[in-house]
Every structure is written in C-alpha cells, then in structure tokens.
Amino acid sequence: MSLDLIEPILFGLLALAIVGAGLGVVLAGRITTSALLMAFTFLNMAGMFVLLGAETIAAFQILIYVGAITVLILYGVMFTPQGPRAYGLFFQKQTTVGAVIAALAALPVMAVAFAFRDAGNVPPRGGDLVPLASSIFTDFAFPFEAASVLLLAAMIGAIVLVKRE
C-alpha cells in the first residue's frame, strides 16, 4: 500500500460527502439541518481544493463560506418566526418540475465533464498565494473590480432596503 492509493480514496470520500450533503441540503425537512449540511458541503469542497494543491483557495473557501455566509444564514433563520407556515414557504414540494430542471442543468455540466481529457499547461502550484494574488491584480483586474463594484452595489441596496423611513 502506498500514498498513490490514498489520493483516489480521499477524492472518492470527498465526492461522496459533497454529493450526499448537497442532496441533504435540498431534501432535509428542517432549515437548520440544511444550513449545517451546507457548511459540511463547503468544508468538503475545501478538501477538494487541498487535494488539488490549492490550499489558499481552500482557506478562503472555509473563511468566507463556512465562517461567514453559513453563520449569516443561520443568523437569518433564527430571526425568522418559527412555525409550520414558515416551513411551508421554505420547502416547496414541486418534485417533478425540480427534477426536470435539475436534469436540464446537469446535461451541459456532464457534457463538459466527460469531454475533459487533459488539463493542458497548468503551472504547478498555480493556486499558491503569490501566483493567485498577481493573477488577480494583473490578468483578472477588471473582473475583480467588477465583482467588488457589484458587491458594493448589493451592500448599499441592502442598507437602503432595511433603513427605516
């Protein structure tokens, strides 16, 4: 037994956990369970990034998605009034429509995934801090700035929406 075998095993475990927890998020009947399973999915995604050698992205994944977004979702859940009516709004049972839409969305993803053969010229350690930072601030400066403007607009919108009067 050697280390070569560990990587596929880890990949399999992580993939199973991601798909299983993702299904759990959709199918669970309680909003807190869904939120916690979502955090679990994000953690496993971070594990995938570590497996790919992109520890920086994995750390940001956990920092932002587990540490901030999931907590904010839980925060929101706890401020919503609890009762059977609220759950009825959260969990709509439109299984057939949902299944058809999911299948339609899955088809292009699967087509891309099965057409994938070779990663080509990916530089080793491309997910490290320094290459990541330099590519964000040189090659992808415009998308990065556009995303920050979008976030700023969203934040101002949220403040305007919740401001009294």
Partner 1 sequence: MVPGPLGLDPFVWLFLRLLIAVVLALVLILNGALVLIYLERKIQATMQDRIGPYHVGPFGLLQTFADALKLIAKEDFRAGQTDTAFFIAAPALVFSPMLASFVVIPFAPGIVGADLNIGLLYLATLGSMGVLGIVIAGWASNNKYSLVGGLRSAGQLISYEVPGILSLVTAVLVVGSLSMVRIAESQPGPFTNIFVIPLAFVTYFIAALAETNRTPFDLPEAESELVAGYLTEYSGMRWGTMLALTEYGNVTIVCAIMSTLWFGGWQGPGVDSGPVTGPVLGLLWFTLKTYAFILVFMWIRATLPRLRIDQLMSFCWKLLIPLTLLNLAVTATLLIAFPETKVPVAIANWILLGAFVLGLPLIQQRRLRRIRARLRERTIAAAPAS
The site that binds partner 1 (CB under 8 A) totals a number of residues, namely 23
CA-based nearest residue to 31, from 96, 75, 97, 94: 75
CA-based nearest residue to 43, from 80, 78, 70, 83: 70
* Binding of partner 1 by 24 (CB under 8 A): no
* Binding of partner 1 by 25 (CB under 8 A): no
CA-based nearest residue to 46, from 63, 29, 21: 63
Residues 110, 102 contacting (CB under 8 angstroms): no
For 73, counting Cβ atoms within 10 Å of its Cβ (0-12 exposed, 13-18 middle, 19+ buried), the class is middle
* Binding of partner 1 by 66 (CB under 8 A): yes
Q: Applying CB under 8 A, which of residues 34, 41, 44, 70 lies at the interface with partner 1? A: 70
* Binding of partner 1 by 50 (CB under 8 A): no
Interacting stretch for partner 1, rule CB under 8 A, among 12-20, 70-78, 85-93, 96-104? 70-78
* Binding of partner 1 by 161 (CB under 8 A): no
**Binding positions for partner 1, rule: CB under 8 A:** 1-3, 32, 36, 39, 55-56, 59-60, 62-63, 66-68, 70-72, 74-75, 78, 128-129
